[in-house]
Structures are given as structure tokens and as C-alpha cells.
Structure 1
Amino acid sequence: MATLDDLRRTALTLPGSEERATTGGAAWFVRGKLYAWECHPWPSIPADMREIIAAELVVGVKVADTFDALALVEMAPDVFLRTTTTWGEPKVAFRLAGIDEEHLAELVTEAWRVQAPKYLRREFDDVGV
């Protein structure tokens, strides 16, 4: 089971990544663009999703497109939640307790890639070589 500390460790390895405290909890940004966040049970979230978010730690991440989010939800509907907000950008939320550390690192890194500028992605890829 992954934790927020695991998410923090992954985020620390990503160039330009920074953690900020927000009203809803911790959030991670790259060059001012949000890529991962602790979900908060805001009133605008559908009631069934709000109950889950109020009861356990749920994390949201950006994804490349809506199809990626739908594929994750279909793959593990007990872990990945259907959309939690009416915002139009592609994202997916998931129960942190249902994700292992390796999958969390993959989700967070891919979310960072969606938001990071090309020069930071190149920097990250060059270090990994």
C-alpha cells in the first residue's frame, strides 16, 4: 500500500516539482501547473464520490487524455474513481490504499510528464539514461 510519503519521494525526483499546501491538502506542481493532489470532499463533488473521499485518502493526478482515465477506471474500478469534478481537463482519482508504490510512482511520473515543459522532461530522461 502506497502512502503520501511515497508520493513525496517520487515527486522529489522530478525536475521542477514542488509541493504546496492547499485548502484541500497537499498538491504537487511543476512550473506552476498542478499534476497531483490530495482530494478533498468538496460540496461540488457527487455525493457518492464525496463519501469515499471523506472516508479515506484519495489522490488525483493529471492524465494525457480522457481515454487514459477511462482505461484506468475500467482496469480497477474498485481503486480508480470515476470523475470527481466537472473540470474538463483529463484527470483520474484513486484510493491511495489500493495502489502499490511502483504503480503510484508510475502514475505520478506520468502526471508530471503531462504538465512539465519539454526541457524538464528532457532533463529527467537524460538523468535516467
Structure 2
Amino acid sequence: MTPEDVRRIALELPGATEKSHFGKPDFRVRDRVFATLPEDGNAVIKLTRDQQEVMCGAETTVFRPVEGGWGKQGWTRVMLQAADEPTLRSALVAAWRNTAPVTLRKAFDLAGG
């Protein structure tokens, strides 16, 4: 997968917009960041600690906690070259759900997302 795939999938999610976070592209829902594209060609997503543990344990070549305090808050690096589209989409949807307000999440669930 590529940063352009991240952009395409992220912007398909309800209410998602692209902005900039410290000069790097990020993706937000209601102005809250759920994913970023750092310069290294990978992605970083906002997971819960439990989600991070499961994903990093199940897909060790795809997911890694971000180093330091951000990683302890659930921020997780997605190694795009090792990811396939269903895995990337699932991870981005999880990050979006963790960030989106309840009303938007419910509307997305009702629409079959």
C-alpha cells in the first residue's frame, strides 16, 4: 500500500478531512486527528491500547507501536509496504471510530460501514 492509498481510504470515511500536523498530512474527523502520514512513507493511526496490542501481536510486520509516550497512548505505525488493502482499511476505520463523535459513528454503522 502507499500513502495515496491511505489518503483515498481515509477520505472515504464520513466527515474525514485532510489537514496538516506539524507540516505532515493528517486526517481528521471533526478536527480530531485519527491518522497521519509522516515522511517515512508509512502511516500512523490512533488506536486504543487494547487495539494496538491485538493488531501488533497479530500482524507484526504491519503494525508497530510508535516509540515513546505517543505509542503508550495507542498511536501505531502502519508499515504500508507490508499491508494489504483490507488490513489498512480495517485499521483506518478503527482509528476513525476511536476519534469520531458517537452520532457520526452510529450513522456510519447504520449505513453499513
Instruction: For CA contacts below 8 A with separation 6 or more, give which structure has more relative contact order.
Output: 1
Corresponding residue SS for 2:73: coil
Q: Any stretches of 5+ residues in structure 1 without a counterpart?
A: 41-52
Matched, 1:8 2:7: yes
Runs of 4+ in 1 over 6 A off after TM superposition: none
Matched, 1:80 2:79: no
8 Å Cα contact 1:25/1:39 also seen in 2? yes
Which of 1 and 2 has greater Rg? 1
Question: TM-score, length-normalised on structure 1?
Answer: 0.75
Greater displacement, 117-126 / 100-109 = 117-126
8 Å Cα contact 1:10/1:108 also seen in 2? yes
Greater displacement, 118-127 / 76-85 = 76-85
State the superposition RMSD in angstroms.
Answer: 1.9
Deviation at 1:24, TM superposition (A): 4.7
Q: How many residues align?
A: 112
Deviation sequence 1:70-118 (CA, Å, 0-9, x none): 2222223232223323135222112111100111111101100000001
